[in-house]
Structure 1
Amino acid sequence: MNKPFFSVVVPTYNRANLLGDTIESVLDQTFKDFELLVIDDGSTDETREIVTSFCNSANIRYIYQENKGQGVARNTAIKTATGEWVAFLDSDDLWLPDHLKGHYDLICSSEEKISWIHSGYLFFDDQGKKFPGCGRPLSGDVFPELIKAGNFVSMSTVKIKKCVIENYWFHENPNLPPSEDRELWIRISADYRLHYLPEVTCLMRMHSGKSTLNIERVKVASWIVVESLLQNQLISQRLLPYKKDLVAYHYFYLSIIYYREGMMAKSRLQLFQAISQNPKLAVSPKVIELFLKSLLGKTVSAKLREFNQSLQSLLMNWRYSFLDHTNES
């Protein structure tokens, strides 16, 4: 039996109400040379029944494990995967039909050797409205950017050669989510150049089912990333010029979290901590913007953010509607 080109990895936990749409979006791909691995991380809902309802598709494999966390679930799938490339998809996100085809075409047509890829994406809500993604279209040596400016690589758009990911693996510390992806991307980017596919063929869901923010958990996870990377001897030389940047971003990230939760004084305190680690941040436009917004307060800032999101969504949905009518003509 020939090995598939892609092994699509979908870890899931108690998302039976959304998992079916995710699976369908994979099965509807125009590029068919893939296997789909659904890793059930100890779900107590109807996840198993949802997956088995697609049993007529020969390229789906369902793997159940006791609840051990996302890192263990993804690593289980990587060990099981038979494809040349591993593709990640969260169990509440969707791929448009040409998603895999676009990545396959880039891999085959590129004159440069490709080891891992990410691509464009949009957010969408329960009403189907689309919003711009938060990623940045960066490629090449992205190690400094991931250290200084945080994660811009969406898990659900990443494709990576299996022979590469097998040398890294996801961190299995149960306290690391939601920062486990950035920690891995930094380690991989220390050795491999990242490639970017500008086509937007991934939709990331915004809905009430997303985990409720636990600030203490976020703080712990973010600091685990810092400690884990500082203690990693395999990237110590590469990381040496960026140690202060790594710690500074930790505090800047917490400042953003506190700001979003309306804790303006704590947000500013974290900003000052970030600047103490890296004084150059004092003149950074992003830092200045966050500081001024924290002075405005949560209500004013929220209204400005809501207006901006509504405007962007309106323009984006108008654009897609216009393109749809043009294609029909």
Structure 2
Amino acid sequence: MRFSVIIPVYNRPSEVVELLESLSRQTYTDFEVLIVDDGSEITCATEVKAFKHGLDLTYHFQPNTGQGFARNKGMELARGAYFVFFDSDCVVPPDYLKILLEAIQNRSLDAHGGPDDADVSFSDWQKAMNVSMTSFLTTGGIRGKMKNPANYQARGYNMGFSREVYERLGGFIHPNMAEDIEISMRIKKAGFRLELIAEASVFHRRKNSLKSFLRQSFQFGRNRVFIRRFHPEAVKWVHLLPVLFLLGLAMIPFLFLLFPTMGLILAGLYGLWTLAVFVSALESLKVGLLAILTSYGQLLGYGMGIIRECWFPEKRG
């Protein structure tokens, strides 16, 4: 089977180098790579050119359309039987495509999603962000740590589907708001088999500052509500937990004033949760402390995003 690896890029040439280096070390070699430079002011054309001799590589520059539509352009240009999508800040382990091929064949998959993790070489800040984005304590296991792989909703940083899926259903329908979750749900509704391949993990080298991480978490909350326009069942109880987390934290000062015992109990529960996050991230003292910061930021940002999108929904395009 020939894979088409599709990578949308926007102003991140240094990341592309690291990703292409990892792809050049794949043990399974029947694949092409399509870089869609989505209107970057700092293009990666020079960086991509350096890999032309080692990879079957296509570089396409276009005006900015958003990552979802950039992926669509990649599929238009692709020649493979199965499309694989990575974000530009990912690093792919050498056996990724080999593992993917075996899972597709052994499990008769039409589509897949895979988890992300932090490599040992990543900074303490990147490791802390990884904890807050992947821990059961913060995301409930929805990003790759679930028992039933058929329940997984693939994410754009590590996902893929067959050419048959694309030809029947089309591509991503929104440039940058939960377009990956939407197409995952559409794929399943059409009767195709999409599952989590837990072994097909990537290293996700997030470059967020605290400000951009909070903004991203806020946007993720908005995205979850936004996707209900296409799939009303998209919001489950687990997605509302960050709202409860936000409201509970805001209530603590008032409970201390009105019902001190209740305030003490609630504050104690948050304290226990905070300790659990710290212990789960205790690769080092610094990572544990930073994980507390990113975990609170992730949940509060996500909760505020849900509330914002419920009260002031994104206008229909």
TM-score normalised by length of structure 2: 0.68
Alignment of 1:229-248 (within 5 A): 229-230=231-232, 243=233, 246-248=234-236
Residue 310 of structure 1: aligned partner: 282
The letter of the residue matching 2:203 is L
1:36 to 21, 33, 36: 33
Matched, 1:17 2:14: yes
Deviations 1:88-111 (A, max 9, x none): 111001111111011122334x2x
Query: Which ranges in structure 2 are unaligned for 5 or more consecutive residues?
Result: 135-142, 253-263, 286-317
* Shift in CA distance, 75/139, structure 1 to aligned 2, threshold 3 Å: farther
Query: SS where residue 184 of structure 2 aligns?
Result: helix
The letter of the residue matching 1:192 is F
Tell me if the contact between 1:139 and 1:193 (Cα under 8 Å) persists in the aligned partners: no
Query: Which ranges in structure 1 are unaligned for 5 or more consecutive residues?
Result: 231-242, 269-291, 314-329
Matched, 1:117 2:119: no
Q: How far apart, in 1, do the equivalents of 2:66 and 2:6 lie? A: 15
TM-score normalised by length of structure 1: 0.66
Tell me if the contact between 1:138 and 1:195 (Cα under 8 Å) persists in the aligned partners: no
Aligned residues: 258
1:226 to 225, 228, 237: 228
1:73 deviation in Å? 0.4
1:196 deviation in Å? 4.1
Matched, 1:135 2:144: yes
1:35 deviation in Å? 0.4
1:42 deviation in Å? 0.9
1:102 to 99, 103, 109: 99
Q: How far apart, in 1, do the equivalents of 2:38 and 2:32 lie? A: 19
Matched, 1:253 2:246: no
Larger RCO of the pair (alpha carbons < 8 Å, separation 6+):
2
The letter of the residue matching 2:110 is S
The letter of the residue matching 2:15 is L
Tell me if the contact between 1:78 and 1:166 (Cα under 8 Å) persists in the aligned partners: no
Q: What is the aligned-residue RMSD (CA, Å)?
A: 3.6
Alignment of 1:1-329 (within 5 A): 5-57=2-54, 59-108=56-105, 110=106, 113-124=108-119, 125-126=122-123, 133=134, 134-137=143-146, 142=150, 145=151, 151=153, 153-174=154-175, 176-177=176-177, 179-190=178-189, 191-199=191-199, 201-208=201-208, 211-214=212-215, 217-230=219-232, 243=233, 246-249=234-237, 252-253=238-239, 255-256=241-242, 259=245, 264-265=248-249, 295-296=267-268, 301-311=273-283
Q: How far apart, in 1, do the equivalents of 2:169 and 2:266 lie? A: 39
Q: How far apart, in 1, do the equivalents of 2:88 and 2:196 lie? A: 23
* Shift in CA distance, 203/86, structure 1 to aligned 2, threshold 3 Å: same
Tell me if the contact between 2:26 and 2:96 (Cα under 8 Å) persists in the aligned partners: yes
Tell me if the contact between 1:255 and 1:266 (Cα under 8 Å) persists in the aligned partners: no
* Shift in CA distance, 295/8, structure 1 to aligned 2, threshold 3 Å: same
